[in-house]
Structures are given as structure tokens and as C-alpha cells.
Amino acid sequence: MANFNEVFDRWGGLIWESTLATFQMVTISLLISIIIGLPLGILLVITRPNKSFDNKYLYRTLNIFINVIRSIPFIILLFALLPFTRLVVGTSMGVRGVIVPLVVYTAPYIARLMESALLEVDKGVLEAYEAMGIKTKDIIWHVMVREARPSIILGITIAVIGLIGATAMAGLVGAGGLGDVAYRFGHLRYEPEVMYVTIIILVIIIQVIQTIGNILASRAKKD
Amino acid sequence: MIELKHVSKTFESKHQQVVALNDVSLQVNKGEIFGVIGYSGAGKSTLVRCVNFLEKPSSGQVIVNGKDLGQMTVEQLRAARQNIGMIFQGFNLLKTATVYDNIAIPLKLTGVPADQIKEKVEKYLAIVGLSDKKAVFPNQLSGGQKQRVAIARALSHEPEVLLSDEATSALDPETTDSILSLLLKINRELGITILLITHEMHVIQKICDRVAVMENGQIIEQGHVIDIYTHPENTTTEKFVSSIFPSDIPIEIITELEKQGPIIQLTFVGPSADQPALSMLSKQFDIHTNILSGNIVQLKDQPFGKLIAHIKGAKVETDKALNYLREQGVQVSEVKHNG
Ligand SMILES: Nc1ncnc2c1ncn2[C@@H]1O[C@H](COP(=O)(O)OP(=O)(O)OP(=O)(O)O)[C@@H](O)[C@H]1O
Ligand SMILES: [Mg+2]
């Protein structure tokens, strides 16, 4: 107990700050990634052969593009994107600097997760709405996305967890965060307590997020 | 109301072509219930789906309410579809929306003013008898109730035509009957023309005025239900009709009985089905009758019955008896044992 208090006194402030930094990075890049990823997921579904906006070229291009980005590990993406990041946000350092690679990494992932969520929607329901003379854009939003909500929520939960993992590398561009603390203090300076505390915090965060995701998804399901 | 002129539909997949509809012509009059029956793969679904252009015909014309669907712009087609309701075997409701919202959402999306939506939803939920289920989600409903919601959803757009693609095929016999009664009710009370497809003769018999029999993408026979029942011309039609009247009498029995008098098939239509014609026979003539099989069913407007009976007695007497039956309006034909 004394040990814990000691760790807390020495590192509490730092750990709290890094937790906030992690939250900040995750929230901002998640929001931007959803804004980009959800429409991409929709596009992947509706440009498929025999779907409402059947477009072979757009579908294939998008597919390859997403696969290419998804095959690059985050740590490499982080460095490969440095010039691009500087161009977009003016710096490649700090939280601002890490948002760009985080989004580039997460948006295509979310697009894939959205794609598979949307493909699960019962074709018959979409058809029933088509038969009622409802506009395709309304069918996409009010039927397809609506019915896919439970899977979309689970998908986003998975994406958040992946995103938290990726932020561990944000320290490399000076953005801080829990992963950075664990690495710098726990590993480089050999303060194992700090590492254990951060691990425990990360485990708790992941558990909570997954639980919330599951609850929200099953609420959206209405069974 | 609905007119199909030489409609064909070919599905092209990588290695083969499937001709689902082959030069189908059909006319459904305003206010009638028209049934299409056929075995699996006959092209029935493709046919109804052509009526609202969920499936675009490869050739031919589809005319609904005087307008050719093939000539329409996207916008015109959407407007036309709002006048053509459709119900499905799988109900196709939103799982994530309440019964109320399942009807209200499409109304909202088709531009019905907000203040009319509530009124309409309640009106049509009352018609299908589900006013107390407004706040319930589809997963908490039985199949029959789900289909009622789907019917209310279709009716809420106040269409002139309702298409039904095997709407009762996923339901048990009792629920099927209640849904069929509901369809009959909306046909009579709201004057909605119904085109339904099914593979069950029972459905045709209960509510249809006219019927078309489909096989291999073609209509092989069509007419008033009663005519199809009494004079089926095609073997497939005969099979459907006899699915209602199973009469497999072993050949040995027929051969044996024929020695003592004719075996006849009696077809009763309308009023003659109610009269005890057969029991009168043995009182008036010196014969004995023995019923081998039989069934009377209620068609939409009249009863229809078929009996197979053996008449035992001298030829003079049996001939007189058969003539008497014919005079009573009963159709009589002899069952041949080699047939
Ligand atoms: N989208 C499609 N692509 C390719 N072939 C199709 C398609 N839809 C239907 N077919 C084919 O067209 C034929 C007629 O199918 P349809 O669904 O109209 O039959 P059905 O009479 O409704 O049968 P069921 O009673 O099984 O529903 C079948 O051979 C079927 O395989
Ligand atoms: Mg079918």
C-alpha cells in the first residue's frame, strides 16, 4: 500500500496527463475517421456489382487503396506520412502531428468494418423500401445504416481499441500518452511500477470500452 | 389495372442464361384478386417483381393504371411505385423500429406531412387489427402479426394495387387463413386490386377471382377459378386442382367395382353442391351408391365439390340415375380404370 502511494505521489500527475492525452488523440482521430470511414464503407457497398450505384472502377480502386493502406503497420505509416502530415497540419510533432497518421490508419479500417456491417442488412428490407418508391439516398441512410447500427457500434468499438493500441507509438513524435509513459519510464528508465500502472489503466480502459460497446449494440438491436 | 404485354425476362450470369419469363401476357382488372400459381422456379416472383419494376423486363411492356412503367423517368417510377403496394414472404420489416415506426418511417420518406402520419398509422393498424402493438418491435411478434404490419405499411400509402409474393408461405394454415381473410377484406372494403402469387391451390381457391398457372416462365392456362377447377386443360393445372381433391383409389378396387356398375366422378358447382343429389338417387332408382372419395370446398363465391362414387345396379337403372344427376346441374363423368 505504501508502495502504491509512493508510486502515485511520484507519477500520478504524469499518468493522469498521459491518460488525458491518450483520450484526446483517440477521440479526435476516431471522430474524423468515422466521418471519412462510414461514407467509404457505404461507397464500398453501393458500388458493388449489382448494387444501386454499381461502379466497377470506383469499387476496385477503393478496394485496392484501402488494402494498400491497411497493409502498412502504423509505426511505418507514422514515418512515411511525415511530409504529408506537415503539409496538412503544419507540424508533424505533438498531438496535432499524430492525428493525421492515426486517421489515415483508422479510417480505412473503419471503412472495412462499416462495409461488413452494412452488408449484413437484409436485402429484402431494402427491396421493400425500393418498392415503396423511396429515394435511394433515404434507403441508404434510413434503412441500411439504421438497421446496421448494432454491427456499426461493435465495429467502432473494435476500431477504438485498435486506435488506443496505435496511440502507444505516438510518443515517437512527441505526442505523449499512456503508451509513451510506459515505454519511456517503464522501459528506458527502468521504473517497472510505472509500466505496471499504465498496463492496468489500459486494461481497465479497454474492458470498459468493450463493455459499453456491447451494451450499446445490444440496446440498438431491439430483440 | 395491371397489364403485361409479351413480357420476357432473361437473367444473364457468367456462364449461362436463365429465361425466367418467356412472353407472358396478362391482364388484371380493377378490383379483382388475381392469383398466379406455379411450382418453384416457374418464374412467379420474377413476374410480380416486373409489375413494379423491381425487376426490369428484358422485353415487353408493363402497364399499371394506364401508364407504361418502361417509359418512365426515375422520378415518375418512384411516384408510380407509391401507388403499388407490395408484401413479401419474409415480411421485410425494420428490426430496429417499432411497429408504429415501421409504418411511419416510409410515410415520412415519401413526403407525407407530419400531421397526417399519426392518423394514417393508426387507421391502418386498426384495419389489420394491431392497434395494441404500436410500441412493440417486430421480433416480439408472430409471423402472422408481422405480415399484418407489412400489410398495414403497404396500405398506408393508399395504393390502388397490392402485389403479394408468397405472403402466406411462411405461415401455418390457420394464420394463412386469417391473412387471406384480411386480404379479401381490404379488396372488398378498400377496393384494392390484388395480384398474388403462391404455390398453394388453397390460397387461390379462397380469395381469387381469376388464376393463371405458370410453368417454365410461361402462363400455360388462365381463367376464372371455377372454370380452372371444373375444366383443367393442362396436366400441371390438373395436378394443382387434384392437390385439393386427393382421390387415389387403388386400381384393383376400380376394376373389381366396375363389374357391378359404373364409377363416376361428380362435380358440383354452386347451388348443386349443397343439395343431397346423391342420396336422392337410391330412393328414386333401383341402385345403391357408394362414395369412394370426395370433398367440397368453398371457393371465393360458391361452393365446389367433387365426389367419386360407385353406382351399383342394372345398366338401365344406372343410366337413368346419371341422367337425373345431370338434370340437377351436376357434372358427371365416368372414371376409367385405365386412365
Ligand atoms: N436474380 C436472378 N439471377 C439469376 N437467375 C434468377 C434470378 N432470379 C430468378 N432467377 C431464376 O429465374 C427462374 C424463376 O425464378 P423465380 O424466383 O421467379 O421463381 P418462382 O416461381 O418465384 O419460384 P419460388 O416458388 O421458388 O419462389 C429460376 O430459374 C431462378 O433461378
Ligand atoms: Mg418466388
Amino acid letter for position B12:
E
CA distances from B207 to A134, B32, B183, B212, B300 (A): 30, 10, 8, 14, 5
User: Is the model's pLDDT at B213 over the cut of 80?
Assistant: yes
Show the cell assigned to A32: 474524423
Size of interface A-B (CB pairs under 8 A): 71
Query: What pLDDT shows up at residue B332?
Result: 84
Q: Per the CB < 8 Å rule, is B94 touching A134?
A: no
3-class SS of residue B231: coil
Contacts A149 to B, Cβ<8 Å: 96
Contacts B80 to A, Cβ<8 Å: 133
Going from N- to C-terminal start, the domains of chain A cover: 4-222
Over residues A173-183, the mean pLDDT reads 82
Contacts of B68 (CB under 8 A, 6+ apart): B61, B62
Model confidence band, residue B339 (pLDDT cutoffs 50, 70, 90)? very low
Contacts A137 to B, Cβ<8 Å: none
Q: Which residue has the cell 393508426?
A: B122
Residues of A with CB under 8 A from a CB of B: 122, 124-125, 127-135, 138, 142-143, 146-147, 149-150, 220-223
Q: Evaluate whether B312 touches B260 at the Cβ level (below 8 Å).
A: yes
Higher pLDDT, A61 or A179: A61
**Which residue owns the Cα nearest ligand 1 atom 7?**
B11
Give the homologous superfamily in CATH for domain A4-222: MetI-like (1.10.3720.10)
**Which residue owns the Cα nearest ligand 1 atom 12?**
B20
Burial of B235 (0-12, 13-18, 19+ CB in 10 A): exposed
CA distances from B67 to B2, B23, B59, B62, B83 (A): 9, 20, 16, 8, 12
Q: What is the β-pairing status of strands B218-224 and B210-215?
A: antiparallel
**Which residue owns the Cα nearest ligand 1 atom 14?**
B43
User: Is the model's pLDDT at A177 over the cut of 80?
Assistant: yes
Percent of chain B with pLDDT over 90: 63
How crowded is the C-beta side of B223, counted as CA atoms within 13 Å? 12
Nearest ligand to the C-alpha atom of residue B42? 1
Q: Evaluate whether B258 touches B337 at the Cβ level (below 8 Å).
A: yes
Nearest ligand to the C-alpha atom of residue B49? 1
Show the cell assigned to A175: 505526442
Which conformational region is residue B150 in: left (phi greater than 0), alpha (psi within -120 to 50 degrees), or beta? alpha
Q: A8-27 as b/e, with b when 16 or more CB fall inside 10 Å?
A: eeebeeebeebbebbebbbe
Query: What pLDDT shows up at residue B132?
Result: 94
Query: What pLDDT shows up at residue B227?
Result: 87
The answer to whether the CB of B20 is under 6 A from ligand 1 is yes
Higher pLDDT, B290 or A67: A67
Give the fold, CATH level 3, of B251-334: Alpha-Beta Plaits (3.30.70)
pLDDT digits (tens, 9 = 90+) for B136-172: 999 999 999 999 999 999 999 999 999 999 999 999 9
Over residues A152-181, the mean pLDDT reads 88
Amino acid letter for position B208:
C
Over residues A131-137, the mean pLDDT reads 94
User: Is the model's pLDDT at B102 over the cut of 90?
Assistant: yes
pLDDT digits (tens, 9 = 90+) for B112-145: 999 999 999 999 999 999 999 999 999 999 999 9
DSSP calls for B149-175: HHHHHHHTT--SEEEEESTTTTS-HHH
Give how far the C-alpha of residue A199 lies from the chain's centroid of Cα atoms, to the nearest Å.
Answer: 20
Please state, in angstroms and rounded to a whole number, the distance separating the CA atoms of residues A39 and B106. 23
Interface of B with A in 62-101 (CB under 8 A): 77-82, 84-86, 88, 90, 92-97
Q: Tell me which of A5-14, A98-107, A153-162, B165-174 is least confident.
A: A5-14
Task: Sheet containing B218-224: give its strands across.
Answer: B84-88, B161-165, B193-198, B33-38, B210-215, B218-224
Nearest chain B residue to A141 by CA distance is B109
Show the cell assigned to B165: 409474393
User: Is the model's pLDDT at B92 over the cut of 80?
Assistant: yes
User: Is the model's pLDDT at A136 over the cut of 70?
Assistant: yes
- What's this model's pTM, rounded to 2 decimal places? 0.86
Q: A31-46 as b/e, with b when 16 or more CB fall inside 10 Å?
A: ebbbebbbebbbbbbb
Q: Per the CB < 8 Å rule, is B96 touching A131?
A: no
Please state, in angstroms and rounded to a whole number, the distance separating the CA atoms of residues B84 and B272. 39
Q: Does domain B2-242 have CATH number 3.10.20.30?
A: no
**Among B14, B44, B196, B236, residue to substitute to test ligand 1 (most atoms within 8 Å of Cβ):** B44
Min Cα distance A159 → chain B (Å) is: 23
Q: Evaluate whether B185 touches B200 at the Cβ level (below 8 Å).
A: no
Query: What pLDDT shows up at residue A134?
Result: 95
3-class SS of residue B21: strand
Q: Evaluate whether B84 touches B161 at the Cβ level (below 8 Å).
A: yes
Nearest ligand to the C-alpha atom of residue B46? 1
Q: Tell me which of A20-34, A164-178, A200-214, B47-61 is least confident.
A: A164-178
Going from N- to C-terminal start, the domains of chain B cover: 2-242, 251-334
Across the interface, which of A138, A146, A221 has its CB nearest the CB of B94?
Answer: A146
B244 closest CA partner among B60, B44, B37, B87: B37
Over residues A138-162, the mean pLDDT reads 95
| Best of B56, B67, B76, B95 to mutate (most A CBs within 10 Å, chain A) | B95
pLDDT digits (tens, 9 = 90+) for B14-70: 888 999 999 999 999 999 999 999 999 999 999 999 999 999 999 999 999 999 999
